[in-house]
Structures are given as C-alpha cells and as structure tokens.
Amino acid sequence: MTKLALITGASRGLGAALAEALAPTHHIIAVARTVGALEALDDRIKALGGSATLAPMDITEAPAMATLCRGIHDRWGKLDLWCHAAIHAAPLSPASSIDAKDWERSVAVNATATAILIPYFAPLLGSEGQAVFFDDPRAGQKFFGAYGASKAAQMGLARSWAAETVRTGPRVTIAAPQPMPTATRARFFPGEKRDALSPPMDEAARIVAAL
C-alpha cells in the first residue's frame, strides 16, 4: 500500500523540500495557500517520478481542514506521516509596538491551528503514524515577540503530544533544522550572507533520513 505524507506549509522553504525528499517513497498531500507554488511543486514531484494531491487551503480555516481529513479518510483511510512546516513570520517589532493584526495572525497560524490540527490528524495517524514539528527557539529574544511567543506555544503543544503518545503512538518528533536561506529567515535577517546557510533540500534529506 502506498505510504502517505501530509505536508502543511508545502509551498516553499522546508515544507516544499520535504515534499520533494519524500516523493520517491510517499504520495504527497501538499497543503498551502499559494496555488501557483503548489502547482510548481507538483511539477517537481512528477519529475522525480512521484505523485501528489494538492490542497490549496488555509490551515486556520477549521471547516476546510475537517473536509481535508474526511477526504483523506474516505480515500485512503489513514496517514503515515504529517510534517507541520506551516508558519507565520510576523515582522520584527518591540513588544511594546506589536501590531494587533500581526499578533492575531501569528497566534492563529502558529498556535491555534496546531491545536486544531493535532486532534484532526491524530486519528488518521493512529498508533503507527508519525508527526514531525520543527523547532525555532526565538521566545524571549528581542523583537521576536509575536513570532517567538506563538512558535513557543506551538512547540509546547507538540511536546505535550509527544509525551502523551510515547506508549500509544503516533510517534511525535521535534526536529531542529539548521538555519536555511528561506523567505522566513530573510524576513528576520535581511542582508544576511545566505551562502553560509544550509540549503532546504539538504536539511530535508537529513530530517527524512532521521525519520
């Protein structure tokens, strides 16, 4: 039976790289908001001899995610792997000047959506599946208030789920990618020398090998 890998945040960066790295061994279910980027990813996956189902959705829309889960259940009955690479990178700002909309979007994408998706995807993963989250410990660093706090909330949820499922499954893994030349990092560190950073495909290959 074909293995299934769901990638949330699959349109670019580490998420897209993971989709390509997993394509030789998994059918990829690629979730992201950007249709054009998903279609480009689909072309690359096909060039690798793989296959994908594109799901152009916003993970903060709970009804859409529920529909996706029902579709996965009805078509395949399960998931083997969920990689949660979706993230909102709010602009850097002093804590005293955080924009309310940036805060709301950060919490919605990074924290609330994770709290919704874990209960949705857990039954599909069952006892044998695996979920992977990606740490980026910025909480408490200056100017990272919105991103750092909401990302810390996400990781807190993931670590609690990991502790709760040690004996029952699914296996929950926290990966720590090396700094990569992604759009998210460029937003945080404009002007940084990108040739010193680890390519997303290299990090994806390392993470997949560790799974």
DSSP letter string over the chain? --EEEEEET-SSHHHHHHHHHHTTTEEEEEEES-HHHHHHHHHHHHHTT--EEEEE--TT-HHHHHHHHHHHHHHTS--SEEEE-----PPPB-GGG--HHHHHHHIIIIIIHHHHHHHHHHHHHTTT-EEEEE----TTSTTBHHHHHHHHHHHHHHHHHHHHTTTTS-EEEEE-PPP---HHHHHHSTT--GGGSPPHHHHHHHHHHH-
| In the chain, % of residues over pLDDT 70 | 100
Q: What is the pLDDT of residue 58?
A: 97
Q: What is the pLDDT of residue 179?
A: 95
CATH 3.40.50.2020 at 3-210, yes or no: no
Distance, in Å, from the CA atom of 84 to the CA atom of 88, rounded to the nearest integer, reads: 12
Using the CB atoms, write b or e for 109-128: b if 16+ within 10 Å: bbbbbbebbbebbbebbeee
Instruction: State the average pLDDT over residues 70-75.
Output: 97
For the chain, give the mean pLDDT.
96
Q: What is the pLDDT of residue 211?
A: 87
Residue that wins the pLDDT comparison between 2 and 79: 79
The domain spans of the chain are: 3-210
Q: What is the pLDDT of residue 2?
A: 83
